[in-house]
């Protein structure tokens, strides 16, 4: 454990954290946040969050995520003079461990006021207002998409074929947008195929319809199903545990849900077929 | 596609931009727009009395507010004037320019003000983008605006080491440019010797697309004033003239993945635009470009498409520093989209910044050579492209 300069602003920032806890901000969070603050006023601290309580300890105590930066930058970030994300992007602030935890930490504490900075009791000016939207929606499928979705209930994947350029459309569309003709011929494709372009997603973006954040990493993937060629790919997800083996050309098959409703999620995901 | 017929020339005579930042809580939307309206009017030497029509646009749903053009009237000054709202996704800003050009070139209006804005902190970008996807199919699969597929393809083609180096080099050039533009949102002060470290340590978002490569989410407004040739010459010593523009959209479903070559909308648009404007050697006949580069992977890859290059010519342009503000073919002296990205304004900022280079009003990020011809690109949706060509000399009609 390092010797701290007990009178420094950095020590004061950590020393006052327990008294500045924002109860709503730490709700449901259990994690240890390590801080390695470099420079003459630096030191190491761990902010332990559990059961709606915050305990600040000196030294690093099993941190789930560790932040490293200089004493000057840490003071500037705390006082709001330096944007944390900018410091991070420019390499001034380094993070090891679970980045997602750190994003939640922005809401843990009430604003820090340096000693002697004058009265801080004046209520903050109202400049932002929080709102949550949640609406039910219904969409018509039309007969072409309807036929495709209905087929999923029988574990069949349908494409339709352009009579001019002969390309397959997945999912089927009423017309070929490039040839501007109706596509009336349906063809069953797959259900097995190969990985074409895998996209492994590490950044957890919330589902706007449910406000739930997806588990990461997940793999959004274009598959070339049997009977398809060129750009006739189908977009779906690859099983998360198959991500380390996700490569172009690897064979896959769909895994279906127990209950089939005629929607995209009837296919749970595609999985790699073991040779 | 034949060249569009113009009734008269249209000049860009005023540009206004708010400061771009992720923290504009101190102003509401009309107030933020008003900042840029005032600046553009000042530069054009005009008042709202001179404006015949206001064209307004942003990304639909990003702020989860409908009809923002009506709500913003107190900031735009549009009360009692002709007004249109345009929203074509990421290309909105570029389409606003097309619309303003059409309204003036046709003779319908003498002076048109176009406004592109976004206040991303107030809405939900991923929510907006996800809601744009087909609700029956791809909505569940969307990864928001993030994809690492281009990174994968560039790495496949040029090898991991060269590809990763080039994309970071591109990123640092953009940051060096942003440092010269005091309106830019992210000015990180990156140095070239940080490239390897950042490429390794910056958190991965999707595949090899890392946070350092990706554009920002900014609040901000861009306003441009377009005038007929007669009015433009009266109000402005050196207008930027609109020579031509082209919009190329693909169908909403992604049909660009798989094992076949794709003619990108970027190359398709460039080919048509250059052919009808007698441009055979874009790197020589065009002096600079402002590109809508959503990430440094896309920026790197798209140089090849927009300039119709082959092989590794685009990578060499980056490696050899051609794209630097004082290089042979400067790209994004403003810092580009990786620096500032108020999405509904972003594509317009590209045209505005290209115009500023011709007008000579870019200040610290003015390209040192004289810019006679400039190219600007807009990007959106499932690979939509709008290209705009600007000139110092008024085009022959």
| Same-domain pairing of A211 and A265 | yes
CA distance B333 to B289: 9
State how far residue A2 is from chain B, nearest Cα, in angstroms.
26
The DSSP-derived string for B13-25 is EEEEEPPPBS--T
The DSSP-derived string for B235-282 is H-SSPEEEEEEEEE---SS----SSS----HHHHHHHHHHHHTT-S-H
Strands (E) across chain B are located at: 10-17, 53-57, 82-86, 111-119, 204-206, 209-210, 219-228, 240-248, 288-290, 373-380, 384-391
CA distance B337 to B290: 9
| Same-domain pairing of A216 and A264 | yes
Of the partner residues A88, A203, A264, the one whose CB lies closest to the CB of residue B206? A203
Share above pLDDT 90 across residues of chain A, in percent, rounded to a whole number: 49
Give the domain range for residue A29: 3-107
Of the partner residues A177, A203, A228, the one whose CB lies closest to the CB of residue B205? A203
- Confidence at residue A122, expressed as pLDDT on a 0 to 100 scale: 53
Mean pLDDT of chain A: 86
Q: Is residue A125 part of a domain?
A: no
Average pLDDT of the segment spanning B229-254: 92
| pLDDT > 70? residue B267 | yes
DSSP class of residue A200?
E
Between these two residues, A102 and A241, which has the higher pLDDT value? A241
Write out residues 274-303 of B within 8 Å (CB-CB) of A. Answer: none
User: Which of B140, B184, B263, B381 is best to mutate for the A interface (most A CBs within 10 A)?
Assistant: B140
| pLDDT > 90? residue B244 | yes
Chain A CB contacts of B136 below 8 Å: 139, 141, 145, 149, 171, 263-264
State how far residue B306 is from chain A, nearest Cα, in angstroms.
22
| Same-domain pairing of A261 and A156 | yes
Q: Hey, are the CB atoms on B253 and A205 less than 8 Å from each other?
A: no
Q: Is residue A206 part of a domain?
A: yes
- Confidence at residue A1, expressed as pLDDT on a 0 to 100 scale: 39
- Local structure of B144: helix, strand or coil: coil
Regarding an ipTM greater than 0.90, the answer is no
Q: Hey, are the CB atoms on B212 and A89 less than 8 Å from each other?
A: yes
Give the H/E segment covering residue A13. helix A9-15
CA distance B210 to A267: 30
Mean pLDDT of chain B: 92
> Of A175-179, B78-82, B133-137, B204-208, which gets the smallest average pLDDT?
B133-137
| Same-domain pairing of A198 and A266 | yes
CA distance A205 to B142: 10
| Same-domain pairing of A30 and A149 | no
Of the partner residues B204, B253, B260, the one whose CB lies closest to the CB of residue A202? B204
- Confidence at residue A2, expressed as pLDDT on a 0 to 100 scale: 44
| Same-domain pairing of A184 and A90 | no
Of the partner residues A83, A91, A139, the one whose CB lies closest to the CB of residue B197? A91
| pLDDT > 90? residue B126 | no
Give the residues across from A69 on adjacent strands.
Answer: A37
Residue A139 has which token pair?
Answer: 């969409």
Sequence-separated (6 or more) residues with CB below 8 Å from residue A178: A162, A165, B251
Query: Of the candidates A241, A154, A155, A254, which has an alpha carbon nearest to the alpha carbon of residue A195?
Result: A254
Q: How confident is the model at residue B138 (pLDDT cuts 50, 70, 90)?
A: confident
- Confidence at residue A208, expressed as pLDDT on a 0 to 100 scale: 58
Of the partner residues A231, A232, A264, the one whose CB lies closest to the CB of residue B140? A264
> Of A202-211, A252-261, B31-40, B154-163, which gets the smallest average pLDDT?
A202-211
| Same-domain pairing of A96 and A36 | yes
Task: Kindly state whether B203 is in contact with chain A, defined as any CB-CB distance less than 8 angstroms.
Answer: yes
| pLDDT > 50? residue B396 | yes
DSSP class of residue B106?
T
| pLDDT > 50? residue A98 | yes
Q: Is residue A51 part of a domain?
A: yes
- Confidence at residue A127, expressed as pLDDT on a 0 to 100 scale: 66
Determine contact, residues B373/B91, Cβ cutoff 8 Å. Answer: no
pTM of the model: 0.82
The CATH-assigned architecture of domain B10-125+217-227 is 3-Layer(aba) Sandwich (3.40)
- Confidence at residue A133, expressed as pLDDT on a 0 to 100 scale: 59
CA distance B369 to B367: 6
Domain count, chain A: 2
| Same-domain pairing of A102 and A222 | no
Q: Is residue A260 part of a domain?
A: yes
| Same-domain pairing of A100 and A162 | no
| pLDDT > 60? residue A121 | no
Q: Which residue of A has its CA nearest to B147?
A: A199
Write out residues 18-57 of B within 8 Å (CB-CB) of A. Answer: 22-23, 25-26
Q: Hey, are the CB atoms on A230 and B259 less than 8 Å from each other?
A: yes
Q: Is residue A79 part of a domain?
A: yes
CATH number, domain containing residue A43: 3.30.1050.10
Average pLDDT of the segment spanning B275-285: 97
């Amino acid at each position: 454990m390092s010797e701290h300069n007990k009178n420094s602003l950095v020590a004061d920032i950590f020393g006052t954290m327990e008294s500045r806890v924002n109860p709503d901000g730490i709700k449901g969070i259990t994690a240890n946040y390590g801080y390695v603050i470099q420079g003459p006023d630096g030191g190491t601290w761990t902010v332990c969050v559990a059961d709606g309580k915050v305990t600040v300890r000196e030294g690093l105590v099993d941190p789930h995520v560790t932040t490293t930066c200089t004493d000057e930058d840490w003071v500037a970030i705390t006082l709001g003079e330096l944007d944390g994300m900018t410091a991070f992007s420019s390499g001034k602030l380094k993070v090891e461990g679970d980045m997602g935890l750190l994003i939640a930490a922005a809401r843990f504490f009430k604003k820090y006021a340096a000693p002697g900075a004058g009265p801080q009791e004046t209520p903050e000016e109202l400049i932002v207002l929080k709102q949550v939207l949640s609406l039910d929606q219904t969409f018509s499928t039309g007969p072409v998409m309807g036929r495709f979705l209905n087929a999923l209930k029988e574990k069949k994947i349908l494409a339709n074929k352009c009579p001019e350029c002969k390309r397959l459309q997945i999912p089927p569309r009423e017309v070929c947008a490039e040839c501007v003709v109706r596509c009336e011929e349906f063809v069953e494709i797959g259900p097995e195929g190969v990985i074409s372009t895998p996209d492994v997603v590490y950044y957890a973006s919330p589902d706007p319809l449910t406000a739930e954040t997806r588990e990461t990493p997940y793999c959004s993937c274009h598959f070339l199903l049997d009977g398809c060629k060129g750009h006739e790919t189908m977009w779906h997800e690859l099983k998360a545990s198959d991500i380390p083996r996700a490569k172009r050309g690897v064979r896959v098959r769909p895994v279906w849900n127990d209950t089939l409703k005629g929607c995209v999620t009837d296919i749970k995901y595609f999985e790699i077929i073991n040779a | 596609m034949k060249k569009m017929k113009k009734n008269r020339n249209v000049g860009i005579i005023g540009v206004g931009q708010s400061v771009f930042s992720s923290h504009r809580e101190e102003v509401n939307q009309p107030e933020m727009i008003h900042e840029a309206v005032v600046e553009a009017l000042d530069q054009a030497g005009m008042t709202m009395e001179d404006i015949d029509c206001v064209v307004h646009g942003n990304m639909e749903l990003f702020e989860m507010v409908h009809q923002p053009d009506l709500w913003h009237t107190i900031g735009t000054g549009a009360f009692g004037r002709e007004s249109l709202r345009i929203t074509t996704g990421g290309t909105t800003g570029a389409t606003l320019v097309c619309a303003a050009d059409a309204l003036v070139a046709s003779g319908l209006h003498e002076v048109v003000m176009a406004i592109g804005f976004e206040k991303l902190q107030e809405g939900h970008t991923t929510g907006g983008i996800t809601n744009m996807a087909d609700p029956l199919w791809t909505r569940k699969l969307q990864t928001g605006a993030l994809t690492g597929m281009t990174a994968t393809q560039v790495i496949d083609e040029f090898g991991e080491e060269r590809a990763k180096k080039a994309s970071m080099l591109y990123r640092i050039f953009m940051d060096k440019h942003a440092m010269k533009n005091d309106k830019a949102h992210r000015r990180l002060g990156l140095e070239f010797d940080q490239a390897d470290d950042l490429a390794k340590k910056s958190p991965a978002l999707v595949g090899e697309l890392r946070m350092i490569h990706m554009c920002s989410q900014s609040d901000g407004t861009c306003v441009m004033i377009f005038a007929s040739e007669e009015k433009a010459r009266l109000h402005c010593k050196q207008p930027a003239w609109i020579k031509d523009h082209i919009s190329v959209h693909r169908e909403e479903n992604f049909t660009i993945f798989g094992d076949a070559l794709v003619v990108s909308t970027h190359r398709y648009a460039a080919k048509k635009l250059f052919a009808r404007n007698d441009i055979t050697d874009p790197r020589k006949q065009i002096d600079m470009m402002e590109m809508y580069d959503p990430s440094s992977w896309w920026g790197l890859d798209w140089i090849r498409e927009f300039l119709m290059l082959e092989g590794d010519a685009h990578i060499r342009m980056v490696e050899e520093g051609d794209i630097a503000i004082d290089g042979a073919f400067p790209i994004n002296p403003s810092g580009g989209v990786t620096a500032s990205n108020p999405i509904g304004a972003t594509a317009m900022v590209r045209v505005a910044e290209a115009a500023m280079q011709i007008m000579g009003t870019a200040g610290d990020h003015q390209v040192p050579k004289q810019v006679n011809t400039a190219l600007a690109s807009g990007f959106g949706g499932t690979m939509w492209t709008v290209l705009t060509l600007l000139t110092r000399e008024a085009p022959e009609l």
